[in-house]
Chains A and B, each alone.
Chain A
């Protein structure tokens, strides 16, 4: 069990500033170092300018087993561009210096964090201006020491909850969470889908019975209608693959694409 109390981060402020009846806030996911090495800071800023509630930066790993083809491709490209945890932290710090104010979570896999040095990574991540950490291959049962290190350094540790997670386990996961809980919309990997899966709303309602923490729904969301349909069921919507697909189609105008795509997800086309 966690011995450390969850810290207060920008996520808590951002979620408490939302109107209860409003549609969910947008959390875009962008791979650090994609489409080119130094794009990260500009694209984080573009997400803020497009109206995002918060932003997730994906720090690539060679073997991303929770990701579908789009994010795999972006991660592979980013690695070839020379992206590392260290560089991603430097870029987040640069974005903060250039006026990025919304909460930022890093999404990465456990091995790069262990290689960097667990405690050192948490300290450096917090110093760089990160607010939270999402690690899709670190389920509740393996997470104690990483979560404690994150909390000790002032970072939220955001767990994932899936449609296959039983209620009792969900309660234990939620009790350890900080920032928000990341609800996985489908029994599957990341990747844009055309419809909101049936199991998503049922999952969100189960999560509400388990915890008062904000719920973000992710995996597969791609459209304004998906975000709208979550009103009353989720406090945030994460959009990753659809955004990266859009950037891939116009890499020379990545910042413009991110800003406009965020706006259209929030406001409609």
Chain B
């Protein structure tokens, strides 16, 4: 594979049908122009502030830190963003870009429904047509978010093919884009997909890390020792890490979903247990069998239940700049309850994976040390799942 723009070492690229190649070039050009335009950046900043609710605060998890008995745990509160997760940062930027490019129809894929709800929200706000692809299995698991998307005026299309989950919804969104590429923008929901998406999504999500870094410097007059984020496709994690990559002393830790355990095969941890391959337009670590067929995944958290990962994470894994660990369903559930009871914050199950790893890291450090965690979303959407597992 060659060394083109849009590569992170050997990872990334744009493995898409020929039909889409000109559209990706147009998107890359549009993205470069937009980010070089002060009016566009000011417009995006004001939407993030006045509509989405940025900046989000950093909260000291006082009782959790005490109970963990080690470093101080700080939470970057993306759960307080409008629609309840970091997904809106990316969606607002992409929808503004789509409007700038003259695209009036927006499509998206969704797993848990958080990205779908964020996309439906932005489309309502800008008066754009919105079609969201969702696996029929996920529609059943996340019925509330399906209702929300419809309430917001989006059309939700059930995807029955393959495993009827996020990877298949992504296939279907790409097929829709191939068929309507001239008037449609595809708002991809994570730092995955063909170039320029991983770069675009990182650019739009790094507001999380930039804010958190400045907040730490202002409050503590120093940087955190460790920064932790969960990794599904990797958008909240890359948004967080991007701001700290050049701070060599800051340890960066990404947390994948170990599901029922890494050795059971029932997990969603491509960086821990996958091999590089090509899915959804990018070369990256991938859960696949020996013949190159993509494997089914399992995680209690629908937002992490994906066999691939953004290509920049693959490069960061290989270089060792970021360490990738994992948390099981059980560990995430325990962290979910702990944060709810000790801090009065109900986290998303995705974020609970990061909380588990953060507490483990904090436990082995001094009380003066600081572990910063991206609390990527709130847990309202997960109440039914948790109730099924742990009847209170």
Q: Which residue of A lies closest to B180 (CB)?
A: A187
Of B10-18, B70-78, B252-260, the segment with at least 4 beta carbons within 8 Å of chain A is B10-18
Say if the beta carbon of A72 comes within 8 Å of chain B. yes
Say if the beta carbon of A65 comes within 8 Å of chain B. yes
Given contacts A112-B293, A162-B17, contact A142 B161 (CB under 8 A): no
A residues 44-65 touching B (CB-CB < 8 Å): 61-65
Q: Which residue of A lies closest to B23 (CB)?
A: A164
Q: Which residue of B lies closest to A137 (CB)?
A: B15
Q: Hey, what's the 0/1 contact readout for B284-325 against A, CB within 8 Å counting as 1?
A: 001010111110000000000000000000000000000000
Of B56-64, B170-178, B198-206, the segment with at least 4 beta carbons within 8 Å of chain A is B170-178
Say if the beta carbon of A90 comes within 8 Å of chain B. no
Least CB distance from B330 to A in Å reads: 29
Say if the beta carbon of A85 comes within 8 Å of chain B. yes
Of B39-47, B87-95, B272-280, the segment with at least 4 beta carbons within 8 Å of chain A is B272-280
Say if the beta carbon of B36 comes within 8 Å of chain A. no
Least CB distance from B154 to A in Å reads: 22
Q: Hey, what's the 0/1 contact readout for A176-203 against B, CB within 8 Å counting as 1?
A: 0000000010111100000000000000
Least CB distance from A233 to B in Å reads: 19
Q: Hey, what's the 0/1 contact readout for A141-173 against B, CB within 8 Å counting as 1?
A: 110110000000000000111111110010001
Of B17, B171, B286, which one neighbours A136 at CB under 8 angstroms? Answer: B17
Contacts of B174 in A (CB 8 A): 65
Of A61, A84, A139, which one neighbours B16 at CB under 8 angstroms? Answer: A139
Of B4, B162, B280, B292, which one neighbours A114 at CB under 8 angstroms? Answer: B292
Max count, chain A CB within 10 A of own CB: residue among B18, B181, B182: B18
Say if the beta carbon of B281 comes within 8 Å of chain A. yes
Contacts of A63 in B (CB 8 A): 162, 167-168, 171, 279-280, 294
Contacts of B22 in A (CB 8 A): 164-166, 169
Contacts of A17 in B (CB 8 A): none
Contact across chains for B292 and A188 when beta carbons are under 8 A apart: no
Of A62, A86, A136, A142, which one neighbours B293 at CB under 8 angstroms? Answer: A62
Given contacts A114-B278, A115-B290, A141-B14, contact A165 B162 (CB under 8 A): no
Contact across chains for A114 and B277 when beta carbons are under 8 A apart: yes
Contact across chains for B2 and A61 when beta carbons are under 8 A apart: no
Say if the beta carbon of A66 comes within 8 Å of chain B. yes
Contacts of A251 in B (CB 8 A): none
Max count, chain B CB within 10 A of own CB: residue among A61, A62, A67: A62
Q: Which residue of A lies closest to B292 (CB)?
A: A115
Given contacts A62-B162, A137-B278, contact A112 B291 (CB under 8 A): yes
Say if the beta carbon of A11 comes within 8 Å of chain B. no
Whole-angstrom distance between the alpha carbons of A62 and B297 in the complex?
A: 13
Contacts of A94 in B (CB 8 A): none
Contact across chains for B17 and A115 when beta carbons are under 8 A apart: no
Of A61, A114, A189, which one neighbours B175 at CB under 8 angstroms? Answer: A189
Given contacts A115-B291, A187-B182, contact A137 B281 (CB under 8 A): yes
Contacts of A141 in B (CB 8 A): 2, 4, 14, 21
Say if the beta carbon of B1 comes within 8 Å of chain A. yes
Contacts of B14 in A (CB 8 A): 139, 141-142
Contact across chains for A142 and B1 when beta carbons are under 8 A apart: yes
Contact across chains for A137 and B19 when beta carbons are under 8 A apart: no
Q: Hey, what's the 0/1 contact readout for A111-152 against B, CB within 8 Å counting as 1?
A: 111111000000000000000000011111110110000000
Max count, chain B CB within 10 A of own CB: residue among A84, A138, A142: A142
Contacts of B171 in A (CB 8 A): 63-65
Contacts of B180 in A (CB 8 A): 187
Whole-angstrom distance between the alpha carbons of A159 and B21 in the complex?
A: 13
Contacts of A112 in B (CB 8 A): 291-293
Contacts of A42 in B (CB 8 A): none
Given contacts A63-B162, A63-B280, A84-B291, contact A162 B18 (CB under 8 A): yes
Of A116, A144, A163, which one neighbours B292 at CB under 8 angstroms? Answer: A116
Whole-angstrom distance between the alpha carbons of A60 and B231 in the complex?
A: 29
Say if the beta carbon of B179 comes within 8 Å of chain A. yes
Max count, chain B CB within 10 A of own CB: residue among A67, A162, A173: A162
Of B161, B168, B179, B290, which one neighbours A187 at CB under 8 angstroms? Answer: B179
Of A69, A159, A164, which one neighbours B181 at CB under 8 angstroms? Answer: A164
Whole-angstrom distance between the alpha carbons of A74 and B288 in the complex?
A: 20
Say if the beta carbon of A214 comes within 8 Å of chain B. no
Whole-angstrom distance between the alpha carbons of A141 and B288 in the complex?
A: 25
Contacts of A166 in B (CB 8 A): 22
Q: Which residue of A lies closest to B296 (CB)?
A: A62
Q: Which residue of A lies closest to B13 (CB)?
A: A142
Say if the beta carbon of A68 comes within 8 Å of chain B. yes
Whole-angstrom distance between the alpha carbons of A84 and B290 in the complex?
A: 10
Least CB distance from B215 to A in Å reads: 40
Least CB distance from A107 to B in Å reads: 12
Contacts of B290 in A (CB 8 A): 115
Contact across chains for A184 and B18 when beta carbons are under 8 A apart: yes
Say if the beta carbon of A213 comes within 8 Å of chain B. no
Contacts of B288 in A (CB 8 A): 111, 115
Of A61, A86, A111, A189, which one neighbours B178 at CB under 8 angstroms? Answer: A189
Max count, chain B CB within 10 A of own CB: residue among A69, A137, A159, A166: A137
A-B pairs with beta carbons under 8 Å apart, 19 shown: A62-B294, A63-B162, A63-B171, A63-B294, A66-B17, A76-B161, A110-B278, A111-B279, A115-B291, A139-B14, A139-B15, A141-B14, A141-B21, A145-B1, A145-B2, A165-B22, A173-B18, A184-B17, A188-B178
B residues near A (Cβ < 8 Å) are 1-2, 4, 13-23, 161-162, 167-168, 171, 174-175, 178-182, 277-281, 286, 288, 290-294
Taking A111-B279, A164-B19 as known contacts, 15 extra A-B pairs with beta carbons closer than 8 A to each other, sorted by chain A number, are A65-B174, A65-B178, A85-B291, A111-B278, A112-B291, A112-B293, A115-B290, A136-B18, A137-B281, A139-B16, A139-B18, A142-B4, A184-B18, A186-B179, A188-B19
A residues near B (Cβ < 8 Å) are 61-69, 72, 76, 79, 84-86, 109-116, 136-142, 144-145, 159-166, 169, 173, 184, 186-189
